[in-house]
Every structure is written in structure tokens, then in C-alpha cells.
Structure 1
Amino acid sequence: MSKVVDDQSLNILFRDAHTHNGWVNSEVSDELLQQVYDLAKMGPTSANMCPMRVVFVKTPAGKEKLKPFLDAGNVSKTMAAPVTAIIAMDTHFFEQLPKLFPQTDAKAWFKDLPENVLEMLALRNSSLQGAYFILAARSLGLDCGPMSGFNNQKVDEAFFAGTTIKSNFLINLGHGDPAKVHPRNPRLSFEEACKVV
């Protein structure tokens, strides 16, 4: 029987969590980043393909490398964040399937598919993994500022040249500044968004 997460945990993960744009000056250790990944990787993906790849940008040199490719509205908050995770995807995820899905020849299901289909599959599943990543980070005490608003092609050229990896979205990570949290925007009600048939 599944265990139910307590109310306090649900508040941390969902109800009280916000997208953060302001940050307090506090370091995020490499060990904590590994813990976040090690939780996030446990979430389900199609055929356990696990296409997400992550580059943690935290050094001044790394931030300066990323900076020119950010939309203007994302520059200051990204430069101020202790870490920016580039959530990326390996479009040739099938190369890892003999290890990740050993019960059958899952590589054969994907390896001859057109590149645009592989990219769509990688995008869907790395986006799922990116959501798991946000929940993992929140559960370990970090705040998150996920965003698009950057030049994917330029980021790919700078960080993933010569690979089959492409950027998906960015997540700023650290401890959010409570003074810079905006009120939560509305969400659709169950009746507006859902149907039981």
C-alpha cells in the first residue's frame, strides 16, 4: 500500500512553493546538486530512456559563458542565482537503452527513427525529468526558477558542441529571497481543467 505524503511535505513541494526570481547569497554545494539529480533520476520515463542531461553552471566563467544567450529579462536573475541548471536532452538516448532497459532490445525500437521523432521523444521525457528535478530540488531545501527565454541554438553550440545533446530549459537554483516573491497567479479549477468519464 502506498504511503501518503504529509501536509507539510505537500506544502514544500506544491502549495507554498513559488518560481523564484530573486536570490540570497548562499552557496549550493556540488554534493547537494548530486543529491537532487539522484532523486530526480528515479522518476519514470518511456522505456526508462532517461534522456535528461544536466549542466550545472555555477562558476563565474560558466555564468559569463551562458550570459550572452539569455533574453534580457532573464540576465540579472540568472547571474544572481547560485546555480543555473541547463536541463538538456540526449536525442540519441537509445544508445543507453541496453543498460537502462536490459530486459529486451529496446534500442531497436528507436535507433532507426527520424531525428525529428527522436527529438520529440527526448523533449517529452526530458521535460518530465525536469519536473521531477524541480520537485527533488524543493524536497532538499532549494528554491527553483525554471525558465525558457534563451537562445537554445547558441547554448547548444557553447555547451554541447559535437554531441547529440540539446538544451530544453533552464532552472535557477538556490535559496530564494522572500522579499522578491510575487503573489501566486491563479490556477484553473478542477471543473475548468478536468473531466471524469
Structure 2
Amino acid sequence: MTLALDAAAQDLLFREAQTANTFTDEPVTDEQVQAIYDLVKYAPTAFNQSPLRLTLVRSEEARKRLVTHAMGANGPKTLTAPLTLVLSVDLDFHEKLPHLFPAMPGVKDAFFSEAAAREAAGTQNATLQAGYLIVGIRAAGLAAGPMTGFDFTGIDKEFFGDGKQKSFLVVNVGKPGADAFYPRSPRLTFDEAAATV
């Protein structure tokens, strides 16, 4: 193999990892979530921007508010997960750029002065960060259940009433429970997905 990761790590992060649909009741601690974030915060983004925000949904009251915006089976799955994360884009992420990227102090004004451009850049980079977050959850020995089947406009009104965050993904997190995984669907082969020019 030409990969630096050993086979066990490859299996943990990719080959044997799947989206979990059920979870045990074993809690996911704040310390675990912080360790995951501290690992994946180094994901590559344009200008080292960090637009991703995590809202940890733990209380029964908050969970019930969240599932009113769920579609289909996503509601029951979310009610029983030990932790649910609402992933959102901070639409004012550019305000932290001088702190995160001091070598180019003018980058904030040059690239992110328009709200539409800021939202597009933030969404693209937060989505990239979300992919790394899922791999980080797997690296912690936990399973992730990412879902897009939610009314995100409703979630934004429910949880981010100031309009400064825009949700785009809900992720259940925990130890996989009974019958957590569906049979794995096929993926494209390298030859189907790649081209050389």
C-alpha cells in the first residue's frame, strides 16, 4: 500500500465506518467533542477561515424543538441519539479573519465585504470543515449520523433568530446501537470517478 495510515486506521476512518442510524445511550462528553474539534480545526480552508459553528443539542427541550423540523425517520433517530450537532455557517466569520490570518490584514475587506460573497465562501468552507468533523468523530471511536432531511430555515428561526448563522447539516453522534448500519451501497470506482488530462 502507498498510504501512510495503517490498515486498522484506514478501516476505522473509512472502510468500516458508516452512517449510524441507531445509538446506544452511552453519553458523548463535552471533553470528547472538544478533542474532536481540536483535531479537525486544522482542516484546510481558504484564508484559514473557520466559518463552521457547532450547536450541541443535549437537553430534551432543545431536542424536541429540533425534531419539529425533521423529515421522516430523522426525527425518531434524533430523539434517541446521545448527542446531536447542528452545523451552521457563521455569516460574520470574516470578523475573525484578522485574528486568524494576521499576515494579510486587508483580506477581510478585499474578499468578504459583500454579504452574498461572504455567505458563498462561508458555506463552501464550512461544508469542507463538516467533512473533516465526521472523520474526527470516527477517529474518536464514535459514529456519526449526518442528515440533510431537515427544514433548515425552520431550524435557523428556532435556534439562530438573529440571522447570523445559517444551518446546513444535523449530525447525530454516539456509539452505534443495534442494527445501526444499513447494507453498504456501492461506490464509484476510481476509473469511473477520475480522469487524467
Q: Assess, with a 3 A threshold, how the Cα gap between structure 1 residues 178 and 18 changes in structure 2: closer, same or farther.
A: farther
Aligned AA (2:113) = D
Taking the aligned partners of 2:28 and 2:98, their CA distance within structure 1 comes to: 34
Contact 2:53–2:87 under 8 Å retained in 1: yes
What SS class does the counterpart of residue 173 from structure 2 fall into? strand
How big is the alpha-carbon RMSD for the aligned residues of Structure 1 and Structure 2? 1.3
Instruction: Give me the whole-angstrom Cα distance separating, in 2, the residues matched to 1:160 and 1:191.
Output: 43
Q: Please list every run of 5 or more consecutive structure 1 residues that lacks an aligned counterpart in the other structure.
A: none
Report the alpha carbon displacement of residue 196 of structure 1 after superposing the two structures with TM. 1.8
Distance in 1, matches of 2:73 and 2:110, equals: 41
Query: How many Å separate the matches in 1 of 2:41 and 2:87?
Result: 13
- Residues of 1 paired with 2:24 and 2:155: CA distance? 26
Alignment-mate amino acid for residue 185 of structure 1: S
Please report the TM-score for the alignment, with normalisation by the length of structure 1: 0.94
Q: Any residues of structure 2 matched to 1:1-197 within 5 Å, and which?
A: 4-104=4-104, 105-113=106-114, 115-197=115-197
Cα drift, residue 157 of structure 1: 1.0
Q: Which runs of 4+ in 1 moved over 4 A?
A: none
Contact 1:94 1:110 in 2 (8 A): no
Residue pair 2:51, 2:93 contacting (<8 A) in 1 also: yes
SS of the residue corresponding to residue 154 of structure 2 reads helix
How far apart in 2 are the matches of 1:66 and 1:178?
Answer: 24
Gaps of 5+ in 2: none
3-state SS in 2 of match to 1:179: coil
CA distance in 1: counterparts of 2:69 and 2:175, whole angstroms: 24
Question: How far did residue 178 of structure 1 move?
Answer: 4.7
CA distance in 1, matches of 2:43, 2:112: 23
SS of the aligned residue for 2:179 comes to helix
**Secondary structure of the structure 1 residue equivalent to 2:103:** coil
- Per-residue CA distance 1:22-74 (angstroms, 9 max, x = gap): 11111111111111111121111110111000001122122112111111221
How far apart, in 2, do the equivalents of 1:170 and 1:162 lie? Answer: 20
Report the AA paired with residue 22 of structure 1: T
What is the one-letter code of the residue matched to 2:102?
P
Identity score, percent: 35
Give the TM-score, by structure 2 length.
0.94
Mapped to 2, the partners of 1:179 and 1:71 lie a distance apart of 21
Q: Which moved more, 1:97-106 or 1:116-125?
A: 116-125
How far the C-alpha of 1:163 sits from its partner, in A, is: 4.2
How far apart in 1 are the matches of 2:65 and 2:145? 19
Q: Deviations over 1:141-160 (max 9, x none)?
A: 11000110111111111111
